[in-house]
Chains A and B, each alone.
Chain A
Amino acid sequence: MDELEKIEGNERVYSLNLGPQHPSTHGVLRILLDLDGEYIVKADPVIGYGHRGHEKMGENRQYKQFLPNTSRMDYLSGMLYNHGFVLAVEKLAGIKVPERAKYIRVIASELNRISSHLLWFGTYLLDLGGITPFLYAFDDREQILDILDAISGSRLTYSYCRFGGVSRDVDMKFIEMTRAFLKRMEARWVDYEDLVTKNVIFIHRTRDVGVISLELARQYGVTGPNLRACGVAFDVRRSEPYEVYDRFDFEIPTGSKGDALDRYVVRFREMQQSCRIIDQALEHLPEGEIMTPKVPQKLSPPKGEVYTAFESARGLTAYYLVSDGSPGPYRCHIRVPSFGNLNVLNDVLPGTLVADAIAILGSVDLVIPEIDR
């Protein structure tokens, strides 16, 4: 390290602007890199290019009007964000949700989680230079989007959940489609393992790259698959089960070292676990209402606050809503997982190669608009 300091401040170090427009920054992220040759001496992520003021919008809107905003924060797991928001508001207003709606929400959320992970899988391989897995993953993701399109009517920003239920009931066709998808994925996992997981080049590119130690992860508040890759089985679906997650039998995959390969494996196995959850939920999907009948159009929850955490595709996400009794929140704060996941890169990137930096950046699965909010 002392040698590193010696090199700083002389003409060897030059800076490189990675982004805001770069093929691998996934959105408008800019990282100011100080490089020595191809080694990174210092990394300073610059964010905020996609800041839209969702929190301020939340304060100026009614609860239901803010719902469409939520899926635009993390557009890759819009269903999960919708889901979390309705959970928060239901908790705040004390609305009960019918069982069927709970199951449907879980199925839709898990499908969305798989689609988000599949997109990450594809783009991560794209970052590493493999183009074909990206298109295979998108092929699979397309199936999920079709399923979600069939129930919600849109493919990315769903606005499917409602306070007290969901907006549309599912039919047999949906169940068939989902089952067919689960069956299809069985064969695909094998293909992906052959094509990517076992690939010697891939393993060499990711093993021991971008190690986030458990202590570092804790310091920065890293959550989600990135944390689980460090060996902690921390998942909001398990630690504070919401909806009906406590009724399902699923594992929380963990890694050991916290390197990029572990993060990859954890996400990969998480997709398989999500499939298991969906399978069980389809099995036990009850009949009945999908909407609580007594939810007023203009919802005015009582005074108070609620902090509702849920597991989005990227980690622990939480809505912090403070109500003053009016139809809109007094304060609407969103805790986003990518914030900590990007922040930790301040410590992880220095000392790595530019090529590694791309591999690390891809492996933590950032969605920049989620950070910018």
Chain B
Amino acid sequence: MKINDIEARMHSKFPESPLNRDDTGGTGVQWSIAVPISGIRDAATEFDAAGFFLESITALDFEDTFELVYHFNCYEPGSRASVRMLCGHDEVPPSICDIFRGAVWLEREVHDFFGIKFSGNADMRPLLLPEDADYHPLRKTFGKVGAYHKREVIYG
């Protein structure tokens, strides 16, 4: 199973990062790992080498921080892994678009909706929003402000 190999590799690469395992499949993700901002490129390279594909990149907006969630999957049953990365509201995470070519658009989309810039992604034009959009609609402060929590409210 590729997913176990890569889990071992990730664990050795980021020994201090917490790794959550979900054997029951209750959340749809086999395991997830939290990496620092600087670690995402390493993690992506590992996944690329192991033959995974990038399913989605998305972000969560919390009062104190953004959390970027990368979902990787491979063509074997039950091998979804997520890489989570906390990213301050004014931090610029590195792009992985040279590792996964499909990430260019995914990062553009995240930039559209959250205003997170990715360093290394040359194409940061709005993708889904109008060309001149200077707002980021999925930020909780945009539009009708509903619940806006700190991260620990949900993840403890």
Contacts and interface: CB of A to CB of B under 8 A. Distances in A.
Contact of A324 (B28, B75, B143, B154): B154
Contact of A51 (B58, B61, B128): B128
B149 A330 contact: yes
Contacts of B147: 324, 326, 330
Contact of B138 (A55, A220, A303): A55
A221 B54 contact: yes
Contacts of A304: 27, 154
Given A303-B154, A343-B105, A239 B128 contact: no
A60 B52 CA distance: 34
Interface of B is mostly: loop
Contact of A60 (B78, B146, B153): B146
A304 B102 CA distance: 28
A51 B129 contact: yes
Question: Which of B71, B143, B144 lies at the interface centre, i.e. has the most chain A CB atoms within 10 A of its CB?
Answer: B71
A304 B32 CA distance: 14
A218 B75 CA distance: 9
Contacts of B73: 316
B138 A47 contact: no
Interface in B52-78: 52-56, 58, 60-61, 69, 71, 73, 75-78
Contacts of A372: 128
Given A48-B127, A333-B58, A221 B28 contact: no
B28 A309 contact: yes
Contacts of B69: 320
Contact of A53 (B55, B109, B137): B137
Q: Chain B interface residue count: which class? A: 35 or more
B15 interface: no
Given A53-B137, A347-B101, A219 B53 contact: yes
Given A56-B137, A307-B71, A221 B146 contact: no
B102 A306 contact: no
A55 B137 CA distance: 9
Nearest to B144: A60
Contacts, number: 117
Contact of A308 (B28, B75, B100): B28
Contacts of A343: 102, 104-105
A323 B77 CA distance: 26
Given A56-B143, A324-B154, A48 B80 contact: no
A36 B56 CA distance: 35
Interface string B81-124: 01000000000000000001110111001000100000000000
Interface residues of A, number: 46
A48 B130 contact: yes
Nearest to A333: B58
B29 interface: yes
Contacts of B77: 238-240
A306 B29 CA distance: 8
B75 A219 contact: no
A218 B53 contact: yes
A323 B147 CA distance: 11
A307 B27 contact: yes
A255 to B, nearest CB: 15
A56 B80 contact: no
A240 B143 contact: no
Contacts of B128: 47-48, 51, 371-373
B82 A322 contact: no
A66 interface: no
A219 to B, nearest CB: 4
Contacts of B27: 91, 304-307
A339 interface: yes
Contacts of B156: 303
Interface in A292-346: 303-309, 316, 318, 320, 322-324, 326, 328, 330-331, 333, 335, 339-340, 343-344
A-B pairs, top 10 by smallest CB distance, nearest first, are: A220-B102, A307-B28, A48-B128, A239-B77, A335-B56, A333-B58, A234-B75, A219-B101, A218-B53, A51-B128
Given A217-B53, A221-B55, A221-B100, 9 more contacts: A47-B128, A60-B146, A234-B75, A240-B25, A306-B28, A316-B73, A322-B154, A339-B105, A343-B104
30 contacts: A53-B137, A56-B137, A56-B138, A91-B26, A91-B28, A217-B53, A218-B51, A219-B102, A220-B102, A221-B55, A234-B75, A239-B75, A240-B25, A240-B28, A303-B154, A304-B27, A308-B28, A318-B28, A318-B56, A320-B69, A322-B60, A324-B153, A324-B154, A326-B147, A333-B58, A335-B55, A339-B106, A343-B102, A343-B104, A343-B105
Interface of A: 47-48, 51, 53, 55-56, 59-60, 91, 217-221, 232, 234, 238-240, 303-309, 316, 318, 320, 322-324, 326, 328, 330-331, 333, 335, 339-340, 343-344, 347, 371-373
